[in-house]
Chain A
């Protein structure tokens, strides 16, 4: 069965680059890896999505190795407002049932 594993928490400082890794041992062949950010009492917000290699947008980069068994979200030059919970999401086909597998979330705390 597929499972996503990510660190429970991380600390960093303003201006630093932060890398959060998610392990996903058996994602669906055609599925994408997606990362979301969530602030307290709000719905998650899409950050970035990729299939393999590297994807970059205005807020983050996503690195996915060839075997796709993990992915790393990279946040450049973080600020206090990046303090949030970050989730990775992959798909999984169990028998004939397609499921969405969310990681447990990584609580990122940015210090001044």
Chain B
């Protein structure tokens, strides 16, 4: 158990819908990262927040957005969902702006 929690564990929805994925970092970690991993694919870095502010941005679609709240938990919002958005979404956290990342168990999103 990494100490990073993600909810929900599974999510099934339809095309065009909007969903919110939630992540709680390890106690004391200030950085939160979001990743997308499609079936049998590598990790795609989406975005990183550090202490409430955006720190780094990867290939995140305009339909996706994220934020980190004052209590340091983070949410990833996915809108106008498409079939291709079906994937495992991982959240990770770290103490500093860079360094060892601890990954959560992931949220498996299925878009039908």
Contact = CB atoms under 8 A, between A and B. Distances in A.
Contacts, number: 56
Given A43-B103, A49-B100, A91-B98, A100 B58 contact: yes
Interface residues of B, number: 24
A45 B42 contact: no
Given A43-B92, A43-B103, A105-B42, A99 B2 contact: no
Interface of B: 2, 4, 33, 42-45, 48, 55-58, 88, 90, 92, 98-106
A87 B44 CA distance: 12
A45 B2 CA distance: 9
B100 A46 contact: yes
Nearest to A101: B45
A81 B88 CA distance: 23
A46 B104 CA distance: 12
Task: Indicate the member of B33, B44, B90 with the most A CB atoms within 10 Å.
Answer: B90
A104 interface: yes
Contacts of A97: 56-57
26 contacts: A31-B98, A32-B99, A34-B101, A36-B101, A41-B106, A42-B106, A43-B4, A43-B92, A43-B104, A43-B106, A44-B92, A44-B101, A45-B2, A46-B100, A46-B101, A49-B99, A49-B100, A87-B42, A98-B55, A98-B56, A99-B57, A99-B58, A100-B33, A100-B48, A100-B58, A102-B43
B56 A34 contact: no
A100 B45 contact: yes
Contacts of A34: 100-101
